[in-house]
Structure 1
Amino acid sequence: MTPMAVAIIRFRPPHPFLQLILFLLTSSFNPTIAESECSPCNHIIPRMNSTSNYTLCRHLPTLDADIDLCYYNTTPNATIDVAFSATLPSREGWVAWGLNPRRPHMVGTRALIAFLMQGSPVVYSYNLTVDTQHWCKLTPSEIEMNVIISMANYSGGNGKMRLAARLGLPPEYDVTRLNHVWQVGPKVVGISPRGHKRYLVDFDSRETINITSGQVLGQGRNKRRNLRYVHGILSVIGWGFLLPSGIICKRYYRVFDFLEHTWYLVHVTFQIGAYFIGITAWAIGIYLGSNNLRTYHHHRDIGITIFVLATFQIMALWLKPNRVDTYRKHWNLYHHFLGYTLLALTITNIFKGFGILKPPRAWKIAYIVLVAVLSSIAFVLEAITFYYFRKRKNEGRNNGDNKK
């Protein structure tokens, strides 16, 4: 097998905050894929006699992968050359690239998967079905695309696996809306690739391109990524900051006599703000879950529970009994218990969200500092409250003794 040499200059994506700013500034545009200075396809697979209609090379947005595509407007169907490269997680791992005639999802993709077999790189074709999504054994199969040439090359120095192929596309593959999917996995048993990791970056390894012009259509990944950041930021502001701040105002207002007449207004303002910002984050999360390839069930279920409990809490504005009502004491117990339960669930779910989103480490550190600051304030106020009520109790006892 002739080794392939693919020299690609990689462009690293910008910082997430910069990406968000760029998205907001350019969301009304449909940018084209910028061709980087990389090896044309004919350095890997000899170019066809006809001139290619389009050649693009780019660093893909996930998994540190690169792709090199040449499009030929052949008759009756289009032909493409593809060279795809990514780093193997281990020598037992695999890399995959494929096309889906219907949508940019794993299920329905006709994939080429490259891996090492007895130390030599090989390429097989696979049909990815719903059974594949449920971890059923994946075996090589024929695909409707005409695989004219396929080959692979592995570089032990950097762990890069490169697969290349010339494909004849059937009519159902629309070259103006070509759905391509890529992935890497940790292990192959025989000729059966095992499942890949299930992080967001893995489920985002898909996009739709117009190969005749080089446009990324819809910018779906950018939209999903930015919505996730908005969901996380609003959750921290609403559930993670305003909610516990409102609870602190409610619990410790008695320590400061000058707040006696304003504590309720402050408490209600914080809680209403927490509720409306929090349910906005919740609604975005539900939308993301309904449009994602994977639902994070624990995070979603806790989020739904938070929404229900918060709705019950906000109803206290209309259902709270008067001071003279006999069941006021029981209402207070219920309201306080629900509030502390809500606080525990929100902190837990925010940390679960960090584990899913995997934002820059500074985000998690900032939230930990915020929780620590609020906890310290609560601890100091708890000590002051204890001293305050103990002092009042002693004063009351002394006054009673003096009357005797």
Structure 2
Amino acid sequence: MAITMVSSPALVFLVVASFLCTSTQAQRSSCDNSFSFFEEGIAGNVTHCRKLRTLGAELGWSYRNTTPNVTVNIVFSAIPSAAGGWVAWGLNPGSKPQMVGTRALIAFRRANGTLEMNTYNLTRDTMLGCKLQPSPIEVQVRNMQANYSEETGAVTMSAALSLDPSTYNISELKHVWQVGSSVVDQVPQKHRMRLKNFDSFEIIDLTTGRGFRDTGLAKQRDAHGVLSVFGWGILLPIGVIVKRYSRNISKNQEVWFMLHVSFQISGYTVGITAWGIGLALMSNSWHFNTFKGHRTIGIIIFCLATLQMMALWLKPSKTNEGDTNTTDRRRRYWGVYHQLVGYTLITLITVNIFKGFAILRPPPVWKWMYVGLLAALSCVAFGLEVAIWVKQCRNAKNSSP
């Protein structure tokens, strides 16, 4: 019996691990030398084309070695996240492809339907919410053009850039792209706070068209998600079911109690590992502070789970009265508290896992697989509750005169 119950969550763990590891891999595909969003003729000088991994954006380019700088013709296309929004693409001369420090091109439609395109310096003040104003950049930009497609809703930008090879290496070019939902008084407003917006960066090799990114953050997300689902979302609920219904399954309570403790300790150990990785994600990435609800519930889960684990040492001991083994008043009160905290913990865990799904946005099938797992555990618990009720009714009927 114990072997069957342990192997089942292990199988689910492998499935969940598989989906989280695969779902966070960027879906890359190349495009031919034309863009589905572009008006005919706009990408005339493009010799390379690439579909970027987030926000449905596409980038086309050509380059030639000139003296003293390299001339790069770029065409960028994306659909703003709402009507009246904006699109942006830029280069970062720093050590990382990130928003702060990016020299950007941003285009949007004015209220009269015409398009505006300017250069911008994105600074830390921009990240903190200061008004974003057009400003000159050290990159020489020529032939800036913008186009809007009524059919697709895409905004397309094109320009010729003169890049200093000592600052911008075309084999390791750090570029960033973004879309926004609104423009107020000709000022682009903040973009949406979603992972796909935060992940819109990479290092690209213009000579081959390959894009690269640091996979460390993605691996941490994978580990956080896998361990959270397996520890908090699978092992702990199974441990609760084992404890609640074991007295009606077998008279050997010692074995079932140890099985309950094993599930709870294992789930807690895996869960706090996931929690620790979550703390690391928050400390290493400023944007993870955006997901305050998920973070707050995670902290509450850690505190309540730690409190539950202390039951191994704080649970009042049994006392003997006459020839029978009874529970004193403190033990009864403690039992009510322990169950209340346990059920609250399971509820918060379920809510937070679904919040995690909303943040990571994996393919819907995986969320429904977790729903199916919850439904299966709920059916098991409901069936055991019915069995207990039927057994109690029969015992009451047999004992009545």
TM-score range, shorter chain: 0.7 to 0.9
Q: What do the CA deviations read for 1:285-322 (whole angstroms, capped 9, x no partner)? A: 22333333412122112112222322332233344443
Residue in 2 that maps onto 1:208: 203
Residue in 1 that maps onto 2:296: 301
- Shift, 1:74, TM fit: 3.1
Residue in 2 that maps onto 1:57: 49
The runs of 5 or more residues in structure 1 that have no matched partner are 1-15, 25-32, 399-404
Instruction: Tell me, in whole angstroms, the C-alpha distance in 2 between the residues paired with 1:45 and 1:201.
Output: 26
Q: Secondary structure at the residue paired with 2:131? A: coil
Matched positions, count: 365
Instruction: Tell me, in whole angstroms, the C-alpha distance in 2 between the residues paired with 1:36 and 1:348.
Output: 40
Which residue identity is paired with 1:378? A
The runs of 5 or more residues in structure 2 that have no matched partner are 1-16, 36-40, 320-326
- Shift, 1:254, TM fit: 1.8
Which residue identity is paired with 2:318? R
Are positions 1:187 and 2:182 aligned together? yes
- Shift, 1:116, TM fit: 1.9
Instruction: Tell me, in whole angstroms, the C-alpha distance in 2 between the residues paired with 1:136 and 1:352.
Output: 30
Q: What do the CA deviations read for 1:295-350 (whole angstroms, capped 9, x no partner)? A: 21221121122223223322333444432396444443343232222112101111
Which residue identity is paired with 1:57? C
Contact 1:45 1:165 in 2 (8 A): no
Contact 1:69 1:83 in 2 (8 A): yes
Residue in 2 that maps onto 1:82: 74
Instruction: Tell me, in whole angstroms, the C-alpha distance in 1 between the residues paired with 2:89 and 2:370.
Output: 38
Q: Secondary structure at the residue paired with 1:237? A: helix
Instruction: Tell me, in whole angstroms, the C-alpha distance in 2 between the residues paired with 1:148 and 1:345.
Output: 55
Instruction: Tell me, in whole angstroms, the C-alpha distance in 1 between the residues paired with 2:374 and 2:280.
Output: 28
Query: 1:283-362, aligned counterparts within 5 Å?
Result: 283-295=276-288, 296-324=291-319, 327-362=330-365
Instruction: Tell me, in whole angstroms, the C-alpha distance in 1 between the residues paired with 2:81 and 2:336.
Output: 54
- Shift, 1:275, TM fit: 1.5
Instruction: Tell me, in whole angstroms, the C-alpha distance in 2 between the residues paired with 1:368 and 1:46.
Output: 50
Query: 1:3-402, aligned counterparts within 5 Å?
Result: 20=21, 36-39=31-34, 56-102=48-94, 103-117=96-110, 118-170=112-164, 171-212=166-207, 214-217=209-212, 219-220=213-214, 222-295=215-288, 296-324=291-319, 327-389=330-392
Instruction: Tell me, in whole angstroms, the C-alpha distance in 2 between the residues paired with 1:257 and 1:18.
Output: 37
- Shift, 1:352, TM fit: 1.0
> TM-score by structure 2 length?
0.79
Which residue identity is paired with 1:300? R
Instruction: Tell me, in whole angstroms, the C-alpha distance in 2 between the residues paired with 1:91 and 1:314.
Output: 52
CA RMSD of aligned residues (A): 3.2
Which residue identity is paired with 1:81? N
- Shift, 1:126, TM fit: 1.5
Q: Secondary structure at the residue paired with 1:348? A: helix
- Shift, 1:206, TM fit: 0.7
Q: Secondary structure at the residue paired with 1:38? A: coil
- Shift, 1:214, TM fit: 4.5
Instruction: Tell me, in whole angstroms, the C-alpha distance in 1 between the residues paired with 2:97 and 2:246.
Output: 55
Q: Which range is displaced more, 386-395 or 115-124? A: 386-395
Q: What do the CA deviations read for 1:358-384 (whole angstroms, capped 9, x no partner)? A: 111122222222222322322332343
